[in-house]
Structure 1
Amino acid sequence: MRKEIGIYIDRTYKVVRQDLITRFNNADVDITPEQWVLLSKLEQGSRHQTELVNHSFKDKHTVSRIINLLVQKGFVERTSDPEDGRRFIISLTDSGRNEVDRAKPHVYASREKGWENLSEEEYKQLLYLLDKVFSGYI
């Protein structure tokens, strides 16, 4: 069983991602799950691009591409850090904030769908075990 855990985690990730894509598409929400991860973090406040890399667990080139797409859509803006011109600060625009608000109900519904078969205790245990597996890699 230990050899197969990666398959189970990957399979679960893929079905959750596809569920969210379907929900977004059906509601004409113009973002991907990967874009959602960054937008939801930016909803808490502007961030340096490197913070978004660390938060998303994606490489800097992938995050840069995602940010470029979000800039093109008008959902975020990129400004130079006044303290260090080599760094960028990424901020939500009003349009981005509206898209986050439109996406939230679909994100919450997708999460509930995954959790509905778990008791509260099973849910807590799952989070505990996933954190334990995760911490083995960091």
Structure 2
Amino acid sequence: MLAHPSPDLYGSDRMLVESVRGLARDRSVLVTLPAEGPLSQALRDAGARVEVLPVPVLRKSCMTPAGMVRLALGTARALPAAWRLLRRERAAALYVNTVTIPLWLVAARLARVPALCHVHEAEDGVPAPVRAALAAPLRLARSVVVNSRASAAAL
């Protein structure tokens, strides 16, 4: 099972499609997206099932007091559904395609599903407490992959 933060179809999204194409050759692949969009059909064409599950995605707008409240409420609403989906699918593992959807790492831990998080972000100039908060959910992952030294250093 794979969790992705956006239904758009840009560079990293296209790389996800190629990964799905390879995985779907010999296994069932389910990708969760927060909404339908251009990526949905591309994933289906690559052999995946797509399930829309609206989950909060970390954005700069979440770094305000009101944004944090919205994030907390969205997480409280979405976490039970994410946990149920992992259990229903009997997921062997979960690939979380960014640190911006930490809810999936929490859900995987609660469902006892091993999770791998692929870190693409390298946020320069972010205060140390914010970087620490972004990196904290990675402790719930069984494995963490970073796409560059810059991403690793930012953690």
Verify same fold: TM over 0.5: no
Larger Rg: 1
Superposition TM-score, scaled by structure 2 size:
0.26
TM-score by length of 1: 0.28
Q: Which is richer in helix? A: 1
Q: Identify the structure with bigger relative contact order (alpha carbons < 8 Å, sequence gap 6+).
A: 1
